[in-house]
Structure formats: structure tokens, C-alpha cells
Chain A
Amino acid sequence: MSEPTPFALSKLFTDLIGRKVTFTQTTAAAETKVKQMYGIYRLLPGETAIVVKSDLPLLGSLAGVLVGLPDAAVKDHLAATPVEELLRDAIHEVLNITSAVITHQGRAVFVKMVTDPMFLDGEAGKVFKKPDHRSYFNVLVDGYQGGKFTIFAPFAPV
């Protein structure tokens, strides 16, 4: 499997929200206390999975721009538990659209998002716990909070 490139990811999200989004590939970073969101994708053909782990503020920023929320309002929405429906639905759509660039081999279909890794079941759980490859990115969103974005894949890049 080819690895998703920072360029492809940056272009997808910049085109999506109409603001500059910059993905920079990094090495693994220490875990933080920032809230996370996990996207689960079925990889077709076959029955494997891809998992995306993202800082919630980053997804909130991308989603917030989509629905016209300023940065301060995004932070307020994210502070609510659970996250308010307007932003939650937009985050869901951001993760759905991510499926277009998450793999260059086969077809990724977004299944669901979860807030805790304990809900990563089946193939997603296996890939998350023991991926053949991880792609780490730092992401900047012009005028909004950025964050970390990691892809857990069942194949190493070729």
C-alpha cells in the first residue's frame, strides 16, 4: 500500500474547507491529554480496516469551518459533553471525506467514528493494536486549532 502523502491530505482538506490546511509528516510523538477521535474505515476488497486517530480539536476546526463556526465557537462546542450535534455531524462528514485519500490501494469506506479506543472492535481493533504501518502528521489549519493526525494501516507501504 502506498502511504497517503502530506500533499494529498493538505489538498483535500484545503479544497474542502477553503482555508489553508497543511499536513507535515512526522515521527511518532508522545501521547498527550488532548481528546481524541477515531475513524474506522473498511478497506475493500477484503475485510481489513484502516483506523485514523486525530486530535479532536483538529477535527473540530475542520468541521467548524465547514459549518461556518469561528474558532472560539468551535472551542465552546468541543467543550460540551457530548460534542454538540452540529459539530459532531460535521466531524463525521470530515472523516467520511477523508476516505478519498486514506489509501492508494483498494477502496476505503468510512464506517463510524468513536471517542474511545475501547470501541475499536474487530479488524479495526486488530489494526489499531498491531498495525503494519503508522503514518504520523502534524496539521495546521489557518486561523484555527491544528493537531496530530495518525493513520494505522494493515499494510506497510511499498
Chain B
Amino acid sequence: MDILLVDDSKTMRGIVQRAIRQAGFRGLTIGEAENGVQALEKLSAEQPKLILSDWNMPEMSGIDFLVQVRASQNKVPFGFITSEASAAIKELAMKSGASFLLTKPFSPEAMQEALSPILGKC
């Protein structure tokens, strides 16, 4: 699995996958989870190159998910894709170990800019 995509909205998971392709990243294996709890289960079985997660989700929020990932000594690159756009949220995300925070709605160019340093130029 190249990317683990975590979002409770099936629509948003589809939009993100489309944006990843439009950004030029093709042929990637993308696993999906609906929330942090499901995502942690998937992580126990497989290590992706990158996690993309929503912030507001039922069961476990994105930031709680990130904290648990880091608490398990997992250093996988982690990016948020969220409608949360405040400076305080961005600061909390970065302090907790996120690599980037993309604000919805986002363009394929923004996706490319965020993913290239982690997945390489496409």
C-alpha cells in the first residue's frame, strides 16, 4: 500500500483519489479507512508510504489518530486534508507530527506540491 486514505466521507475519498491521479501520481495503491480506529487496524498489518487523513471523523478524530500513530513510534509521513483552516489547527497538526495540511477544497496542483516531497516527483 502506497497511501492510506482516512476519511468518513466516501465522496471525499473519491475526490482525493481523483486529485491524486490528476496531480500525476498514477499506479499507486491506495487503501481506505473510514476513521482512525479502522486506520490503526490497517496500519498494524501494512505500512504505507504516506497517510492522508481528514480531521473531523467519528470514532477517532484525525489528530487523535496522528497522536496514536506517533505514540507507536511509527514515523510514516502524515498529511491532513480538511476543511479546518485556522492557524491554531495548522500549528497543532505540525506540532503533533504532520508533514502538511491541505485545506478543502484543494487543487491537483496543491496536491502535487504536498505529495512530491514524500512520494517523489511524478
Query: Is B105's CB under 8 angstroms from A110's CB?
Result: no
Q: Which residue of A15, A67, A100, A110 is within 8 Å of B11 (Cβ)?
A: A67
B59 to chain A, nearest CB (A): 15
Q: Which residue of A67, A89, A110 is within 8 Å of B83 (Cβ)?
A: A110
Query: Is A100's CB under 8 angstroms from B85's CB?
Result: yes
- In chain A, positions 103-141 with a C-beta closer than 8 Å to chain B are 107, 109-110
How many chain B residues have a CB neighbour from A under 8 Å?
Answer: 17
A54 beta carbon closer than 8 Å to chain B: no
Question: Looking across the interface, which residue of chain A has its beta carbon closest to that of B56?
Answer: A109
Query: Is B105's CB under 8 angstroms from A96's CB?
Result: no
Q: Which residue of B11, B84, B103, B107 is within 8 Å of A93 (Cβ)?
A: B11
How many chain A residues have a CB neighbour from B under 8 Å?
Answer: 18
Which B residues touch A49, using CB under 8 A?
Answer: none
Query: Is A92's CB under 8 angstroms from B9's CB?
Result: yes
Which B residues touch A99, using CB under 8 A?
Answer: 83
With A15-B105, A16-B105, A100-B83 in contact, is A90–B11 under 8 Å at CB? yes
A85 to chain B, nearest CB (A): 8
- In chain B, positions 81-113 with a C-beta closer than 8 Å to chain A are 83-86, 88-89, 103-105, 107
Which A residues touch B12, using CB under 8 A?
Answer: 93
A78 beta carbon closer than 8 Å to chain B: no
Bound complex: CA of A93 vs CA of B84, how far in Å? 13
A8 to chain B, nearest CB (A): 12
Bound complex: CA of A93 vs CA of B13, how far in Å? 11
Query: Is A100's CB under 8 angstroms from B104's CB?
Result: yes
A34-75 near B? 1/0 per residue, CB < 8 Å: 000000000000000000000000000001001100000000
Query: Is B107's CB under 8 angstroms from A100's CB?
Result: no
Which B residues touch A92, using CB under 8 A?
Answer: 9, 11
Which B residues touch A110, using CB under 8 A?
Answer: 56, 83
Give chain B's interface residues, CB within 8 Å of chain A.
9-12, 14-15, 56, 83-86, 88-89, 103-105, 107
Give chain A's interface residues, CB within 8 Å of chain B.
12, 15-16, 63, 66-67, 86, 89-90, 92-93, 96-97, 99-100, 107, 109-110
- Supplied contacts A16-B105, A66-B11, A99-B83, 4 more A-B pairs, CB within 8 Å: A16-B104, A67-B14, A100-B103, A109-B56
